[in-house]
Structures are given as C-alpha cells and as structure tokens.
Amino acid sequence: MRNAFIFKSLMALSVSVLLFSCSKNNYGDNSRATGWKYNSKDGGFQVQTNYKEQETGPGLVFIEGGTFTMGRVQDDVMHDWNNTPTQQHVQSFYMDETEVTNVMYLEYLDWLKGVYPPTEPKYRNIYYGALPDTLVWRNRLGFNEMMTNNYLRHPAYANYPVVGVNWIQAIEFSNWRTNRVNERILEEEQVIKENAPFEDVSAESTFDTDTYLNAPSQTYGGNDEAIRGGRASERYEKNNDSTGLYIQRKDGLLLPKYRLPTEAEWEYAALGLVEIRSYNIYRGRKKYPWSGKYTRSGQRRTRGDQLANFKQGDGDYGGIAGWSDDGADITAPVKSYDPNDYGLYDMAGNVAEWVADVYRPIVDDEYNDFNYYRGNVYTKNAINPDGTVKIVMTDSIVYDTLSNGRIISRVLPGGILQVPIDDNETYMRTNFTDSDNRNYRDGDKSSSRYYEGYQDENLPNRRMYNAPIHYVGPSAEDSTKMDKKYDESSKRTTIVDDKVRVYKGGSWKDRAYWLDPAQRRFMPQYMATDYIGFRNAMSRVGTKARKQKTPRHQKPRN
C-alpha cells in the first residue's frame, strides 16, 4: 500500500513538473545574452512569452511539409516533356479545405461595392475589374445561357466553385481576404474599435494589414478612435505584450497572408502522402489524390462510384440519368466527394486551379529543391521624402490594364505602394541580384553558359520565350476609348512569357488523364475559363509539425 502511495505521489509530481515546463516560455526569465530580466516593469527588453502556435485561419487545414517526387509519374501521352520527376521538399503550410466558392467571392464583391461605389466614376473600375467573366460559359455550338445568367449569383450555385476568375483577380481576392481576417482578429481581441470594420470603413478609411504593421496610425485613414478604440490597450500594456498602442508583428497575433499556393505546394497537398509518410515512401508512385490506380471507389458501400467530377468520354460528363457516374455534369458543390488524406476536397476534378508559378517547361531542381517557386518579383515599400511609407490614397489608386483591355485595381486606398528593389538591397549579394527573377535559369540564352552580356536579349532572335505582345492603350484619336491591336508578327517563337501562369488538376471538362496531380498546364494570367477556379494557401510560421512525433508502434499523441 505504501509503495502504491509513493508511486502515485511521484507520478503526480512528474505531471506537475511536466505541465509547468510546458507552460514555461522557451526564453527563460532572464536573457542568456545579458542576464537582464525579460519584461521587467522597470524597463529593458520586452518579449512575447506566451505565444503558442499559429492559429488556423478560416477555411484552412494544416498540411505538414515533407519530401515528395514532383512531376510525371505515369505515361506522358501528351508528349509535353514539361514535368520531369524531381525530388522536392515543401515546408509546412495551410491550404483551403475547398475551392473558393461563388458565395465566398460574392462576399468580396459586396464589400467592394459598398466601400467603393461603382456609381462614382473614380471607383468604377475597382468593382467591375473584380467581376468574374460570366461569358466564359458560352459555346458557339452549345446552349449554356442558363449558366451565363445564373451560375455566379443564383443561390442554387452558392456552394459551387467560382469560375471565370483570372489569375490576377484571384490574387486580389487573396489580398482582400487577408485584410478582412486580420481585421476580424483585432476586433475580437478588442484592439480596434468594436464594429470598426463596418462603421468606420469607407473609400478613404480602410484596414490594410501591411499598413497596420508598418504605419498603424494611418490605418482607417488615420482615425485614431477606430484604430485604438478597443479595450485591450491597457491589457497589452500591463502584460508587456506590445507597446500598449498597436499590435506588432512580434506579438504573433496577426496571420500571414492568404495567397495562391505554389505549384510544388499544390501538387504535394493534392497527392496526400500522409498515409505512407510513416514509412518514408516518396518515390512518386501515386497516380491520384486517393489510393489506387482507378477513378472508381472500391469500398463496399460506394463500390463503383466515381471519386471525382470529370469528363468520362465524348459526350459523357455525368453518366446515365438515374444513376449518374459522378453526380454532376458541370461543376459540383464543394465537398461532394470524399477528401484526400489531408482533408482537402476536390484536388482532382470539379475545377482546375490557378497556382502562383510562372510557367516554364523545366523545373530547375539543380538550383533549388526547397520550396520551389518560379515567379519571385521582389519589391519594397515606397518611401516619402520624410521617411514615412507611401500610402495609396483615393486619388492615386493603382490600376493595371491587362492585355485583353480589362482594367483591374492592384493597390487600393489604404495600402502601401510597392516599388522594385534597387542596389541598396542587391549590392554584393550572392543569393539574388535583381528585382524580377521570373526568367532566372529558365533555359533561354541569357541563362546559358555561353551568354555574353553585350547581347541584346530583347531582340526577337535573342529571346527564347518570345511570346506575342498585344498593344492595349488609350486611343490616339479619343483618349476615353481603348485602342486594341493584335501582335501580327510572324517571328514569334512561343506563347509562353512572364505573364503565363500554371494551373493544376483536372476539371469537370477534362478526361481522367488530367486528374493526376503531376500534370501541369498554363494560361495567360489575364484570361479566364469556365473550368479554372482557385483556392488559397497560407505559410506556416514556427514548427514543422503540430504534434510530437511518436514511434510507429505507439499511438500518436493528441
């Protein structure tokens, strides 16, 4: 009996020590550099000591990073030769559980319409530039006007993936989503004024995450009551979590940006290798996001059912009436099919999806095999003469005229103007030398070992990726109209350029061949279709895994 009591006492002591050590911060109470006490009321260095881990943002699921084989794992029947297998490593990140739906995108449009009324000429292009192209449903020899008129806005399609969105529109939605999520966090934490996202927002008064972190006093147009109107200032000042005025990056409260996933992230997440990772198998023998080599279910209850929404064959988009092969003819509501092992829905079928990368036929794993991405264009905050960051105002909205003549806003009022990096950032560096790295080692002459610096790579015969350049600009006769001219040159060598983006995954309009996550296709970033949508991703800060690893013969810890 006594031994049992001693054993229980020791166990209780061990648990209490464990709990105490888990709740204790990683820094210790005193600095290992100076011996000074952290977060002293008398002064000294103030540091966040109760940070746990990154919150999972709305709509996202956690994807633990790892190694995988990126590229072709089956026959290349198209003979594209653009997805040669390479071994890559992807850091842990978050990804949308589903594709962005019509109702999610309509929320974005509603916000734009309310803040920047299209009835006012100076804001008109903000709203109209964000509208999906519903005419993508039209077919010269098909009757699709029902989708043209109803697919985006009718409640029957609210939970269907949004289409008709080009790559740039997807980027702008991601930026808007970032700001709204972080604005909600600050309101819930009672940092900003309650209901500020509704009562204090206008074209001249908006919330932007980057502006808040770099020039917080200029958020909401400089409305101090909205910026610091919450009841948390005293709490943060008391706990030494911040300056007591604004939340900073060091507080770990605001989330990283919503963005498009890189091609490597998308393919890694689609494969869903989590079920075989415990045995360290990454040789690239998985054909689909689900296990097996077939598109039909082998489970007893659903045997024979299709596992994704895709085109079965000529004239067969859904199967025979009464017992449909995949339950859909066009797109299907998200979550209509089982998720993969990461909990992601429709990573094969339904709609193909934009990813962040600029398209090139090669993946240069000899230069980099960690978080591979082609598309880096490094910028920095524009700075005013007085040293403050340059905030875009209602009279300086940044627009982009696309190659098809469409006008889209790129920096809205309240955001920080971005400019290319210069010699101040690149001088004597070894890891990057230019702002624009989309062409780096992409196979053209300037990337070859025989390139000579005096050659003019802008000449048609010097450029490997010599795509057509269409002119869109103000008409010389009437500046209120757009002049559109096709590039009629016969010397162009390719349709690939720096504004052509990768899209991944099969769609309701594709054969099963394209369901393979390794397949890759491309389209100009200003174009939209009825079979391409998108989903967001978010980088993870901190640890690679959310749970402690355990031996295979033990049950994992919750």
Do residues 205 and 196 touch, judged by C-beta distance below 8 A?
no
pTM value is 0.87
State whether residue 519 is helix, strand or coil: coil
Q: Please check the confidence at residue 18 and state whether its pLDDT lies above 60.
A: no
Domain boundaries, the chain: 52-188+253-285+310-316+328-371+503-547, 439-497
At how many degrees (to 10) do helices 167-188 and 102-115 cross? 80
Do residues 537 and 95 touch, judged by C-beta distance below 8 A?
yes
Average pLDDT, the chain: 84
Which H helix or E strand runs over 471?
A: strand 471-474
pLDDT for residue 61:
97
Token duo for residue 9: 């006492």
Q: In terms of Cα–Cα distance, which of 230, 238, 183, 178 is closest to 205? A: 183
Token duo for residue 456: 């003019």
Percent of the chain at pLDDT > 70 equals 79
Give the pLDDT confidence of 119-165 residue by residue, as tens digits.
999 999 999 999 999 999 999 999 999 999 999 999 999 999 999 99
Please give the DSSP secondary-structure letter assigned to residue 67. Answer: E
Give the Cα separation of 500 and 495 in Å (integer).
8
Residue 85 Rama label (left phi>0; alpha psi -120 to 50; beta): beta
pLDDT for residue 98:
98
**Maximum CA extent, the chain:** 102
pLDDT-derived band at 78, boundaries 50, 70, 90: confident
Q: In terms of Cα–Cα distance, which of 103, 101, 175 is closest to 534? A: 101
pLDDT for residue 313:
63
Cα separation values, 208 from 100, 110, 242, 380, 449, Å: 21, 18, 19, 16, 44
Ranked by mean pLDDT, the top range of 161-170, 268-277, 406-415, 463-472 is 161-170
Q: Which residue has the higher pLDDT, 463 or 246?
A: 246
SS3 content of the chain, % helix, strand, coil (to 5): 25, 15, 60
> How many CB atoms neighbour CB 13 within 10 A?
10
Q: Please check the confidence at residue 279 and state whether its pLDDT lies above 80.
A: no
pLDDT for residue 449:
55
Do residues 99 and 350 touch, judged by C-beta distance below 8 A?
yes
Tell me yes or no: is domain 52-188+253-285+310-316+328-371+503-547 CATH 3.90.1580.10.
yes
Contact partners, residue 435, CB within 8 Å, separation at least 6: 377, 378, 379, 420, 421, 422
Least confident of 43-52, 330-339, 497-506: 43-52
Do residues 198 and 182 touch, judged by C-beta distance below 8 A?
no
pLDDT for residue 29:
82
Place of tokens 């209602």: 394
pLDDT-derived band at 238, boundaries 50, 70, 90: low
Place of tokens 């292009």: 125
